[in-house]
Amino acid sequence: MSGAHAANFTAKDTEKENQLLLRELDEKVAEVCEKRRVYPAKYKEALEAGLDARLEWLTTAPVAGHILPAPLDVPKIVEELKTTSDDKDRLRARNEDLRKEIAKTQDELEAMHKYKQALYQAITGDTFVPRTLMLKRALLGGSPLVRAALAAPLSTSTICAQAQDTAGEKKSIKKPTIWKIDENVREKLANFGRYAAECLPKYVQQAQFAAGDELELLIHPDGVIPVLSFLKGNHSAQFTNLTFITCVDVPTRKNRFEVVYALYSVRFNGRVRVRTYTDEVAPLESACSVFAGADWFEREVYDMYGVWFNNHPDLRRILTDYGFEGHPFRKDFPLSGYNEVRYDPELRRIVYEPTELAQEFRRFDLETPWEAFPNFRNSSITSGYEQIELKQQQPPAQQEKK
């Protein structure tokens, strides 16, 4: 026993009792430490040194916060240990109290979160999910988001891929393996699609959703420059970032090539695709006057498909070989091509020869004899889109995808 605590003990004959209780305490501490694998400072050495050192530590150790929440008050502990009958009840009651405290703090946090959400919603009209640091900083920084909300039909600056409304949550719990689509994003994009169609009625023929929540505007080929510059310049659109320009070949149509422009708005975090059509000879206007980065994308479309772009600064082949003839990605161009290249050791250079395959190219017909998608029986790649009602004001009619 150390001298500092000696004064607290009443009589010498209770010292032995105290010793025994201390040893009990020591065992308990050792057990807890072993279970949690965390040892307070100097306790480990005390462990190895022996029982006396441990008892010494128990009486003199500083606060070991993660095992013993309070400084060891030896007499009190001894008192508590004496009353062993209602020990377990007391501990249980203490646990309950602690749990209630934790629940209270968690409730407080939830309430604070909800309050923040409601506040943000009141200010901006958006639902706010403060999960990303960027948005947190923006909120702390102040006004741009507020301005955005007041200005635009499209303000999708706070997007989280998970749906937030309760109906969505219930659906997502019932069907956990369905790809989740944020309804707010959909609604805002639908509004913007309608707005764009109203602004450019001459060119925009249809607005639709592809794959649930991707806005697509189908336009007339004359409208490439007006629509792209509208999307880039309009204040409530601001699609300043060009993502890609590509082409899809559907040889069964009269206008077999479908050119797709994909844009991204940094300001509103929104994506849109613009699709036009053309055939083998009719040219499209080059988007280089609107987006300077369009040149290589259009060169690739020209090289691979043969779509000509007017007023392009430098429209020539980009990916194919220097003397290549033909447009390879067209559906009627064979996969193995027409010419092959090999090194001729006699001429000591590479030579071009017509393709000769040792085995003919086998295309297996793997189509299942049973119909896979009866809903899409009549239309193949033109289906899977949900049109946005342009005339009326109510939210878009949703067809079943499957």
Interface residues with other proteins (CB under 8 A) are 131-134, 159-162, 176-180, 210-212, 214, 216, 240-244, 246, 248-249, 260, 262, 266, 269, 271, 273, 291-297, 300, 317-321, 328-329, 335, 363, 366-368, 372-373, 376, 379-385, 401-402
Question: Is the separation of the CB atoms in 46 and 54 below 8 Å?
Answer: yes
Q: How far is the CB of 293 from other proteins (least distance, A)?
A: 3
| Token code pair at residue 79 | 């008192």
Rg value, the chain, Cα:
37
Measuring CA to CA, how many Å separate 308 from each of 174, 207, 256, 315? 50, 25, 13, 8
Angle at 302 between CA 300 and CA 304, to 5 degrees: 65
Give the nearest distance from C-beta 221 to other proteins in angstroms. 19
Closest to other proteins by CB, 212 or 283? 212
Tokens 């030896």, located at residue = 74
- CA–CA distance from 165 to each of 108, 177, 244, 378, 386 (Å)? 21, 18, 33, 35, 22
Check: CB of residue 113 under 8 Å from CB of residue 139. Answer: no
Classify 280 as helix, strand or coil: coil
CA trace torsion 131, 133, 136, 142 (10° rounding): -150
Long-range contacts of 48-57 (CB under 8 A, 24+ apart): 51/23, 51/26, 54/26, 54/30, 55/1, 55/19, 55/22, 55/23, 55/26, 56/2
Nearest to other proteins of 5, 317 (CB atom):
317
* Residue with Cβ nearer other proteins (10 or 383): 383
Minimum distance between the CB of residue 24 and other proteins, rounded to whole angstroms?
37
* Distance of alpha carbon 385 from alpha carbon 390, whole angstroms: 15
Nearer to other proteins, 33 or 260 (CB): 260
DSSP letter assigned to residue 316:
-
Contact between 117 and 125 (Cβ < 8 Å): no
**Closest approach of other proteins to the CB of residue 307, in Å:** 14
Beta bridge partners of 354: 339
Nearer to other proteins, 12 or 402 (CB): 402
Residue 315: left (phi > 0), alpha (psi -120 to 50), or beta?
Answer: beta
Closer residue to other proteins in complex, CB, 66/401: 401
Shortest distance (Å) from residue 216 CB to other proteins: 8
The minimum distance between CB 87 and other proteins, in angstroms, equals: 36
Minimum CB–partner distance for residue 388 and other proteins (Å): 16
Q: How far is the CB of 29 from other proteins (least distance, A)?
A: 28
Nearer of residues 18 and 286 to other proteins, judged by Cβ: 286
Residue number with CB closer to other proteins (72 or 262): 262
Q: What is the DSSP letter of 388?
A: P
51 versus 381: smaller Cβ distance to other proteins:
381
Distance CA 296, CA 305 (A): 14
Q: Could you count the other beta carbons within 10 Å of the beta carbon of residue 192?
A: 27
- Residue 335 beta carbon to other proteins: minimum distance, rounded to whole angstroms: 6
